[in-house]
Amino acid sequence: MGKYILKRVLLMIPTLLGAAILVFLLLRMAPGDICAVRFLGTGMAVAEDQIQLCREQLGLDKPQIIQFFDFVWGYFIFDLGNSMWTGQPVTHEIAIRFELSMQVAIMATIVATVIAIPLGILSAVRQNSMTDYLVRGFAIAGIAIPSFWLGLMIILGLLIVTQSWFGEPWMPPIQFKSIWEDPAHNLAQLVWPAVATGYRYSAVATRMTRSAMLEVLREDYVRTARAKGMVEKIVINRHALKNALLPVVTILALEFAFLMGGLVVTEQVFNLNGLGNLMVDGVERQDFTMTQNLVMLVVIIFVFTNLLTDLAYAWLDPRIRYS
Amino acid sequence: MVTVSEIQTEAEFEEVAPKKPWSRILMDLCRKQPLGVFGLAIVIAMILAAVLANIVSPYDPLQEHYEAMLAPPGTDSFLLGTDEFGRDILSRLIYGSRTALLVGFVCAIIGATAGLVLGVASAYFGGLFDLILQRILDVFMAFPLIILALAVVATLGPGFQNVMIAIILPFIPQCARVVRSNALAIREIPYVDAARALGFSNARIILRHMVPNVMAPYLIMLTTFLGQAILLEASLSFLGLGVQDPVPAWGLMLTNASEFFEGAPWVAIYPGVAISLSVFGFNLFGDAVRDTLDPKLRSR
Here the ipTM equals 0.81
Asked if A8 is an interface residue toward chain B (Cβ–Cβ < 8 A), one would say: no
Asked if A87 is an interface residue toward chain B (Cβ–Cβ < 8 A), one would say: no
pLDDT exceeds cutoff 70 at B23: yes
How many Å lie between the alpha carbon of B151 and the closest alpha carbon of chain A?
A: 7
Of the partner residues B152, B241, B269, the one whose CB lies closest to the CB of residue A26:
B152
- pLDDT of amino acid B274: 93
Return d(Cα A32, Cα B71) in angstroms, integer. 41
CB B164 within 8 A of CB B230: no
Encode pLDDT of A239-282 as tens digits.
888 888 878 888 888 777 777 667 888 888 888 888 888 888 88
Interface contact flag, A149 B275, Cβ < 8 Å: yes
Calculate helix-pair angle for B215-238, A130-144, nearest 10 degrees: 50
**Chain B residues touching residue A148 (CB < 8 angstroms):** 235, 238, 254
pLDDT exceeds cutoff 60 at B297: no
A111-145: string of b/e by CB count within 10 Å (b at 16+)? bbbebbbebbbbbbbeeeeeebeebbebbbbbbbb
Task: Give the model's confidence band at B109: pLDDT under 50 very low, under 70 low, under 90 confident, else very high.
Answer: very high
**Chain B residues touching residue A163 (CB < 8 angstroms):** none
Task: Give the model's confidence band at B1: pLDDT under 50 very low, under 70 low, under 90 confident, else very high.
Answer: very low
Q: With a threshold of 0.80, does the pTM exceed it?
A: yes
CA A300 to chain centre: 12
Written as one letter, the residue type at A323 is S
Encode pLDDT of A80-92 as tens digits.
788 888 888 888 8
Encode pLDDT of B56-101 as tens digits.
888 888 888 777 777 778 777 777 888 877 788 888 899 999 999 9
B88 three-state secondary structure: strand
Q: What is the gyration radius of the CA atoms in chain B, in angstroms?
A: 24
More confident residue, B264 or A103: A103
How many Å lie between the alpha carbon of A180 and the closest alpha carbon of chain B?
A: 31
